[in-house]
Chains A and B, each alone.
Chain A
Amino acid sequence: MTKSRKMEAPVVIVGAGIVGGAIAYYLTQRGLKPVVLEKSAIGAEASARSAGGVRAQCRDRLERLLAMASIKLWEGLEAELDFDMEYVQGGNIRLAASEERLAGLAAEAQEELADGLVVEMWDRDELRRRAPYLSYMFIGAKYCATDGVANPILSTWAFAVAARRAGASILTHTEAIGVETQGGHVTSVLARGRDGEFAIETPLLIHAGGAYTPQLGQTLGIHIPVEPARNFIGVTQRVPPFFTEFVSSHDMRIYFRPARAGHVHVGGVLVTANTLDRSVPAEGLAHLSRIGLMAPALGNTNFLRAWAGTLAMTPDRLPIIGPVEGIRGYLLAAGFSGHGFCLGPIVGKLLSEWVVDGESSMALDELSLSRFA
């Protein structure tokens, strides 16, 4: 059944993940009431399925600066949004099991310190002292005290709920299926919801559709180089709390972090390329059981649940953010390549500035789609 409804919006955002939700929220703070189209439920896709890492260390320089600014926002978000996001600055430990890895981390530390990010290099003794729960296989680590974690589901919801409260309209189970332009300028977005298809007149479309972004771009004749990839997370039963850090090792290809309720989330530093499949493979759980080698205290616990999510990978593993050349009124915020959760708030803030002020307080030019041209 098709209903003809006529809607208007100053801005349409596609995707109610943490990026889309943050854009919507910060736009409402500048007096705009955007419409958000979400093809599934809130908190059903990659944002809410992520590890919830909020970290600035061990990133490409462009992302590092964004992450540092984002963490400044994170520090005040729970009060600002009036929502418990389980945000904890419990520190981030990046481990080394070889001298070569350790030397790489030390070089990175120099760059980070130069950018004003406070990190520490730990040798073997310091690692023993600061994180005695870790296996002796590791010979050192880089540590950032201001990094941390948040609950990815609650954080995604926090922005959606706050945006709604401030007047944004979030339409769930509603998919953006087309864009109309006139003279190279966006004029309306076509959507399909449970009640049928309808159009929203708007001069501005911000596309934060994660791995599902390329399809809509195609209807505009734009190639957006984002490919889906699968990652998965296992959760242990509750254990008495014994650490606060987000810990990762590229030697073991494992990361893990504590959740407030006492569970430990364990993920693999590896992805299955080019798939939208979200089943957890048998060998995936087997890989995650390596946590028992990294943190022997967890060796006797049980896995309780596991899930997979779909990452949006770009060729250079950096996000695509900002206006698209040739189509006025079409902005992208997609392709976060598995690092988007922490960046959501700052990207939302910067794009709201771009919409209202005509420019953002941090330059985003280097992240535009045209870098792939």
Chain B
Amino acid sequence: MSGPTETKHTEVAVVGAGPAGLSAALAAAQAGVQVTLIDTYRQPGGQYYRQPAAELETLHPDSHQREGKDLWSKASGAGIELLAQTTVWGAFEGNQLALYGPESPPSLQAQAIILATGAYERIAAFPGWTLPGVMTTGAAQTLLKEQRILPGRRVVLAGTGPLQMVVAAGLVQAGAEVVAVLEGSRPLRKVLRRPWDFVTALWGQWSRMSEGLSSQLTLRRARVPFHTGWGVIAAHGQGEVTEVTIAQLDDEWRPIAATSRRVACDTLCCNYGFIPATELARLLGADCEWRPAHGVFVPVRDEDLATSAPGVYTVGDGAGVGGGPLALIEGQIAGLAAAAQVKANGSDGGDTTSIREQMVGLRAALRRERRFQKLYAGLFTPGPGVDELAELDTIVCRCEEVTREEISEAVRLGADTLDAVKALTRCGMGNCQGRVCGSLVAAAVAQEIGHPRAEVGQFRVRPPIFPIPLAALKPVDDEAASILQGGGIAR
């Protein structure tokens, strides 16, 4: 086996090179500690700063791509080591991360770990959602931003949140026909109910608002229909999507049957918000709590953004979805806190006063961003109807092809926990390891056994959290090799 084989030691390990991870790495490095940044992709930036593929770099980058590039050039200038194309597949005792990547050591031990693992897109299991041509809005965005590929010619977008509009505008600019953008929520109605809250929360969010307005303008010019309080309730087609059924939704996001009608398209993009990726945090022992306003579990954190696991911090969308600007501030706070922690334990006296001073100003900015985060969640968190669209034969876990009916059947047999349903039906046991289906299955189990979603919990997390090649694992001793060399080899 080639490549380094020993455990590497670092002062601060940052997992994930999106806005939160880049800013954490930069802040820690500028505070004078050794930083190792790990990311799955070839280029740092994450989804928010998603960079064009290297072969397409000469094409005009958008403002996020430029911002991401700037941030990375600052970070690499500050002496951060980047382990790119590297998967963190496990976390073990003593803040040890198990790595898999072409240039990476098999394991990395750090005094402090900052998790900036981002979020997954939340999906809905409506009839037909597994048809080719149905994808998440983020997947369409990746195709557009990184590969400059149109996902289809006639696109419907459904779900909730500003990402829908941003991607719809991108699709229009790239030449697609956007048939409709369906926003399940009714944001305007909510704003008019408590206008002052929104003015204060939006004050200072100029770049966000200008991005939103420019998307709106693009969509208006192209005369793209934009409906609030509407959603997709089924996708249809033989072998690929050719039509979707849309309907008006009530305040609980339940479709109003009389309003449903069919719309022709070749692509359906869906996004119902985001689910923080907390697997590593949980493997490292961080406690999580249910956040009803967002409908997700998030790690419990203190004011330094440290989790309940010693030396483990978590920032950005992986700690509770709040978007790029919040991620940048959280990253700085945790980067400084981790640096202070390392220095306090170090031999050089451990004076961290100046670091702590820097953190004061950041906390004010954090409060402002959190106001916006709260407003955002109030506007764009789906109602319970989104989890009730599956029919009996609708697949809920696509890796193992488990239907909604099989979940009911497992509960009928006596499965009374999420893990018992998983064990009986195999849902969540496939290649996605529950990342795609986890919230769908948990919602179905909550409906079946009549417990609140918070009590149903999440799938248990175990290493490997991503599929890991056997060849990447090195046996603990050389006994196997000695057997191979000893008697018993036929020649």
- A192-229 contacts to B, CB under 8 A, are none
Alpha-carbon distance between A36 and B457 when the two chains are bound, in angstroms: 26
**Interface 9-residue window, one of A109-117, A175-183, A240-248, A290-298:** A290-298
- A89-141 contacts to B, CB under 8 A, are 97-99, 124, 128, 136-139
Alpha-carbon distance between A253 and B50 when the two chains are bound, in angstroms: 46
Residues of B within 8 A of A173 (CB): 416
- B416 in contact with A300 (CB, 8 Å): no
Which residue of A157, A164, A298 contacts B470 across the interface (Cβ within 8 Å)?
A298
Known A137-B483, A293-B484: A41·B470 in contact at CB below 8 Å: no
Residues of A within 8 A of B490 (CB): 124, 128, 136, 139
Query: Quick check: is B419 within 8 A (CB to CB) of the other chain?
Result: yes
Alpha-carbon distance between A237 and B431 when the two chains are bound, in angstroms: 7
Name the distance in Å between B473's Cβ and chain A's nearest Cβ. Answer: 4
Residues of A within 8 A of B415 (CB): 41-42
Residues of A within 8 A of B464 (CB): 285, 303-306
Query: Quick check: is B102 within 8 A (CB to CB) of the other chain?
Result: no
- A154 in contact with B424 (CB, 8 Å): yes
Residues of A within 8 A of B426 (CB): 261
- A289 in contact with B475 (CB, 8 Å): yes
- B460-491 contacts to A, CB under 8 A, are 462-464, 467-471, 473-476, 480, 483-484, 486-490
Query: Quick check: is B420 within 8 A (CB to CB) of the other chain?
Result: yes
Which residue of B431, B463, B476 contacts A287 across the interface (Cβ within 8 Å)?
B476
Query: Quick check: is A65 within 8 A (CB to CB) of the other chain?
Result: no
Which residue of B423, B430, B469 contacts A300 across the interface (Cβ within 8 Å)?
B469
Name the distance in Å between A179's Cβ and chain B's nearest Cβ. Answer: 26
Q: Which of A124, A293, A302 has the most CB of B within 10 A?
A: A302
Alpha-carbon distance between A300 and B470 when the two chains are bound, in angstroms: 7
- A289 in contact with B470 (CB, 8 Å): yes
Residues of A within 8 A of B429 (CB): 304-305
Known A289-B470, A301-B470: A157·B424 in contact at CB below 8 Å: yes
Query: Quick check: is A75 within 8 A (CB to CB) of the other chain?
Result: no
- B420 in contact with A299 (CB, 8 Å): no
**Interface 9-residue window, one of B26-34, B36-44, B90-98:** B90-98
- B487 in contact with A99 (CB, 8 Å): yes
Residues of A within 8 A of B96 (CB): 282
Query: Quick check: is B314 within 8 A (CB to CB) of the other chain?
Result: no
- A148-184 contacts to B, CB under 8 A, are 153-154, 157, 160-161, 164, 170, 172-173
Size bin of chain A's contact surface: 35 or more
Query: Quick check: is A318 within 8 A (CB to CB) of the other chain?
Result: no
- B423 in contact with A282 (CB, 8 Å): no
When C-beta atoms are compared, the residue in chain A nearest to B422 turns out to be A153
Which residue of A164, A237, A283, A293 contacts B480 across the interface (Cβ within 8 Å)?
A293
Query: Quick check: is A252 within 8 A (CB to CB) of the other chain?
Result: yes
Name the distance in Å between B267's Cβ and chain A's nearest Cβ. Answer: 29
Alpha-carbon distance between A42 and B413 when the two chains are bound, in angstroms: 10
When C-beta atoms are compared, the residue in chain A nearest to B468 turns out to be A303
- B488 in contact with A43 (CB, 8 Å): no
- A137 in contact with B488 (CB, 8 Å): yes
Which residue of B92, B431, B474, B484 contacts A289 across the interface (Cβ within 8 Å)?
B474
Residues of B within 8 A of A304 (CB): 429-431, 433, 464, 467
When C-beta atoms are compared, the residue in chain B nearest to A125 turns out to be B490
Interface flags for A233-260 (1: CB within 8 Å of B; 0: not) read 0001100000000000001100000000
- A136 in contact with B489 (CB, 8 Å): yes
Which residue of B92, B416, B468, B474 contacts A172 across the interface (Cβ within 8 Å)?
B416
Residues of B within 8 A of A293 (CB): 480, 484
Query: Quick check: is A355 within 8 A (CB to CB) of the other chain?
Result: no
Interface flags for A50-92 (1: CB within 8 Å of B; 0: not) read 0000000000000000000000000000000000000000000
Residues of A within 8 A of B463 (CB): 280, 282, 285, 306
- A282 in contact with B470 (CB, 8 Å): no
- B398-445 contacts to A, CB under 8 A, are 400, 413-417, 419-420, 423-424, 426, 429-431, 433
Name the distance in Å between A158's Cβ and chain B's nearest Cβ. Answer: 10
Given contacts A137-B484, A302-B468, 4 further A-B contacts (CB under 8 A): A41-B420, A289-B470, A306-B463, A306-B464
**A/B interface sample: 21 pairs, CB < 8 A:** A41-B416, A41-B420, A43-B420, A44-B419, A97-B488, A136-B490, A157-B423, A157-B424, A237-B467, A261-B400, A282-B90, A285-B464, A286-B474, A290-B475, A293-B480, A301-B469, A301-B470, A302-B470, A303-B468, A303-B470, A305-B429
Across the A-B interface, the 4 shortest Cβ-Cβ residue pairs: A289-B473, A302-B467, A41-B420, A282-B92
* A-to-B contact residues, CB < 8 Å: 41-44, 48, 97-99, 124, 128, 136-139, 153-154, 157, 160-161, 164, 170, 172-173, 236-237, 251-252, 261, 279-283, 285-293, 298-307
* B-to-A contact residues, CB < 8 Å: 90, 92, 96, 98, 107, 400, 413-417, 419-420, 423-424, 426, 429-431, 433, 462-464, 467-471, 473-476, 480, 483-484, 486-490
